[in-house]
Structure 1
Amino acid sequence: MFLEALGSAMLGLALAWAAAYRLPHRLPARSLVLSTGVAGALFGAFLTHTALGAGHFLVILLGAAAVSAALLSLLLRPAERFRRSSATA
């Protein structure tokens, strides 16, 4: 179980770092992004481990990555290129 938690935390950190590196203009502060990625991965690993039980290491990491990516996607802001200016009468 320790390896599952460590592996999922490292996976969440890697996903969050990649997201912060690729989309810095659409995400909030880097510390929030990194902590959300790790927390999401740990929660995903816990959830998957609870549902499947022990002995499914790769599936647990897949569940951790899915929950981490889902939480990171909630932090995204809209792109600025579609900004509309208000029309004055």
Structure 2
Amino acid sequence: MILEALGSAALGLILAWAAAHRLGHRLPTRPLVYSTGVAGALFGDFVTHTALGPGAGLLSLLGAAIIAVASLSLLLRPAGRLHRRSATA
């Protein structure tokens, strides 16, 4: 269980690094991105491990990756400026 949690945290850190490297211009500060990736992976591992029980290590890591990517995607900002017209224009 400890190795599974450490593996999930490492997976979340790797996914956060990849997101910060690839989409750095659309994300907030790097410490927030890294902590969100790790926390999302640990939460995903916890939920998957609770649902499937012990013995499903690879599926728990898959669940950790899915939740980490989903939580990192919530940090993304729009790519360009939004040009909205006012109601009076």
Query: Structure 1-normalised TM-score?
Result: 0.92
How many residues of Structure 1 are paired with residues of Structure 2 in the alignment?
88
Identity of aligned pairs, percent?
69
Match of 1:24 in 2: 24
Query: Structure 2-normalised TM-score?
Result: 0.92
The CA deviation at 1:85 is 7.2
Give every structure 1 segment of 4 or more consecutive aligned residues whose post-TM-superposition deviation is greater than 6 Å.
Answer: none
What runs of 5+ residues in structure 2 fail to find an aligned partner? none
Q: CA-atom RMSD, angstroms? A: 1.7
Residues 14-60 of structure 1, C-alpha deviations (whole Å, 9 max, x = no match): 00000000011100000000000000000000000000001111000
Matched, 1:77 2:77: yes
What runs of 5+ residues in structure 1 fail to find an aligned partner? none
Q: Structure 2 counterpart of 1:27, which letter?
A: L
The CA deviation at 1:5 is 0.1
Matched, 1:63 2:58: no
The CA deviation at 1:62 is 0.1
Q: Supply the distance in 2 between the matched residues of 1:46 and 1:86 (Cα, whole angstroms).
A: 45
